[in-house]
Amino acid sequence: MLADAFVEAFSLIASFNPDLFEILLLSVRVSLTALGVSVLIALPLGAMLAISNFPGKRIVITCLNALMAMPPVVVGLLVYLMLSRSGPLGALGLLYTPTAMVIAQICLITPIIASLAHQTMEDLHQEYAELFSSLRVTKRRAVPIYLWDARYSLITSVLAGFGRAVSEVGAVMIVGGNIDHLTRVMTTAIALETARGELALALALGIILVVLALIVNAAVMYTRTYAQRRAYG
């Protein structure tokens, strides 16, 4: 039975099954959109935290680190409460839409990327601070320099964020509702199809998810190796 399910799963992939690829494309679209927005927030936030001193900075960093470990279902619940009809953003009618899933994923991965980016750029700041003081480099000018010089480590952080987003199930299930042809993504589809005993589709999606994870990890490894070879890491 398991062997049959595997054969069927591979045939679904090989035949470019429309349902399978619809789910795959939605997953990638939602996760990449969330990643794009998160990067725009998290990288400058990480850089500013690394080079600025202000009262309460340690508290902000502690909160950011704590948010990294936030259970996805709790994030999903909070976003649900915000977007539900009686919530503060209920009027926007975003619940059970891909946008709601994007918002949930942004909430999940922004702290991860910001925290990793902060650590990377704090190390770089230790190294560059005296030179920048000597050359009177302003903070405004320093931020893009840090972002560029830490680019390879930051790419790793961003890829870690993508991996987290694309493999997340709890939050997107709550705010997306796993609606067929609308908000069904790979992880929620796997959960549903497994519960229904439809192992072929679940396995096919699982295989694609594993391949995606492998590609992301290979990209991380390649980035690290390249950066080390050029002494840019």
Partner 1 sequence: MVDTQPLQIPRPPSVLAVQGLSLKLTDRTLLKGIELRSFEPGITLVMGANGAGKSLFLRSLHGLLPIEGQVSFAGRPLSETLAEQAMVFQKPTLLRRTVWQNMTFAAPSGSTDAEIENLLRQVHLAEKALEPARLLSGGEQQRLALARALLTRPRILLLDEPTASLDPGSVSIIEKLIRAASDAGVKVIFVSHDIGQARRLASEVLFMHEGRVVEHTPADRFFSAPDSIEARAYLSGELLIKPQTTGSPEQ
Binding positions for partner 1, rule: CB under 8 A: 127-128, 130-131, 133-136, 145, 148-150, 230-233
Question: Exposed, middle or buried: residue 25 (CB in 10 Å: 0-12, 13-18, 19+)?
Answer: exposed
| Rg, the chain, Cα only | 20
Closer to partner 1 by Cβ: residue 139 or 196: 139
Closer to partner 1 by Cβ: residue 140 or 181: 140
Closer to partner 1 by Cβ: residue 67 or 227: 227
Least distance from C-beta 157 to partner 1, angstroms? 16
Closer to partner 1 by Cβ: residue 7 or 129: 129
The CA distance from 130 to 124, in Å, is 11
Least distance from C-beta 23 to partner 1, angstroms? 40
Q: Would the CA dihedral through 173, 175, 179, 185 be positive or negative?
A: negative
Least distance from C-beta 148 to partner 1, angstroms? 8
Least distance from C-beta 155 to partner 1, angstroms? 13
> Cα 182 to chain center, whole Å?
21
Helices (H), 18-138: 18-51, 57-68, 72-83, 98-134
Least distance from C-beta 24 to partner 1, angstroms? 37
Instruction: Give the residue from 108, 125, 104, 111 showing the smallest Cα distance to 45.
Output: 111
The CA distance from 48 to 30, in Å, is 27
Least distance from C-beta 227 to partner 1, angstroms? 8
Closer to partner 1 by Cβ: residue 28 or 145: 145
Closer to partner 1 by Cβ: residue 222 or 232: 232
Contact 39, 158 (CB under 8 A): yes
